[in-house]
Amino acid sequence: MDIIVKKMESSEEIRDKAYVHWKAWHEAYPGLVSPEYLDKLTLERCEEIAHRWPVGVLVAKDGERVIGFAGFGDRGEDAPGTGEIFALYVLSEYYGTGAAQLLMQACLEQLKQYPEVCLWVLKENKRAVRFYEKCGFRTDGTEMTSAVIAAAEIRMWRKTVAMPFETVIETAKVYIEELFASNAGGHDAAHTLRVYQNAMALANSLPACDRTVVALAALLHDADDHKLFDTKDNANARTFLEGQGVPRETADRICEAVNSVSFSQNRGRRPRTLEGQIVQDADRLDAIGAVGIARTFAYGGEHGRSLEESVAHFHEKLLLLKDEMNSEAAKRIAEHRHAFMEEFLREYAGETQGESK
């Protein structure tokens, strides 16, 4: 299963979004809303809605199949300057797959210019309420009963990062420069900035990701590396994030992504979150190719390793990374860098074994 999220564009996606709308309501809402309303919510009615409002809709797809959707936009006159998620549904067979989380993240990315985002949810839809709370939304006590569906709805809000995104990122770069000022063995500030650049480039091909989480996880991915610092529970990263006013829920997601990066601690394990997958790929891309070769010998020299001991590291780790990339974009880049390392090793073997061209 490889679920992606994208903007709804084709006529097929509009048609399939209508089916998900109809199916999701009839799966999730019996007993929660008026049965008369459900009877009137036919597939034809959902198709009419889908064609009337095609803008501001994201679809989640498993292959070519639309399995969920979300609608977003400006709240309007009653709350100017506020973003709103108007709808978010996935088919019941995709509950627990992360599809809803991907849709939520993509909506928040589209609404990132708003200081606050709100949504309305059925008061008795406990599953949905728990999901939104997990995503950082909180109720504000506002409740209304819709005569149309004969059910009560509650309003929930979520604040964005307290400081402007760009300010937090630039502050993080300065923090990293200071943290790694004395390191020249491959885990320096330059490495972190390359991982950040890799991660943001990969994020461009994966619009469902939370770019705030990707950016800060990439910049802080070595801030508590066990090889460099004797800290617990991401202490350096959390102290920095708290100082920037980053909400605890966002900090938790950043640290989860950070903790999924290490090769030695996550061997063969695919990160649970899309952001973790992106940052893991970004870090591993910086371990291979020309830069990876340079870093290997820089680290080896700093730790007293011989050339042969450093070369052994290629076979123990670096040549394995190509096949452990998560995204298609990272796999394409890794193919080229892997081939470069293989050519280097052939040349090295020839020169050290006395062969000449």
pLDDT of residue 288: 96
CB 30 within 8 A of CB 41: no
Work out the angle between the directed axes of helices 328-352 and 274-285 (0-180°, nearest 10): 20
Tokens at 190, concatenated: 């330059």
CA distance 114 to 74: 9
Confidence at residue 94, expressed as pLDDT on a 0 to 100 scale: 93
H or E, element range at 144:
strand 138-146
What was the pLDDT predicted at 221? 95
- Give the pLDDT score at 272: 92
pLDDT computed for residue 355 by the predictor: 65
Q: Domain 165-352 falls in which CATH fold?
A: Hypothetical protein af1432 (1.10.3210)
The pLDDT score that the predictor gives to residue 79 is 67
Q: Where are the domains of the chain?
A: 3-159, 165-352
- pTM value? 0.57
CA atoms within 13 A on the CB side of 346: 7
Name the stretches of the chain with pLDDT < 70: 1, 77-79, 160-163, 184-186, 264, 266, 355-357
What is the rounded CA–CA span in Å between residue 285 and residue 195? 8
**3-159 CATH:** 3.40.630.30
Long-range contacts, 226-230 (Cβ 8 Å, 24+): 226/262, 227/187, 228/183, 228/187
Q: Give the whole-angstrom CA distance, residue 213 versus residue 210.
A: 5
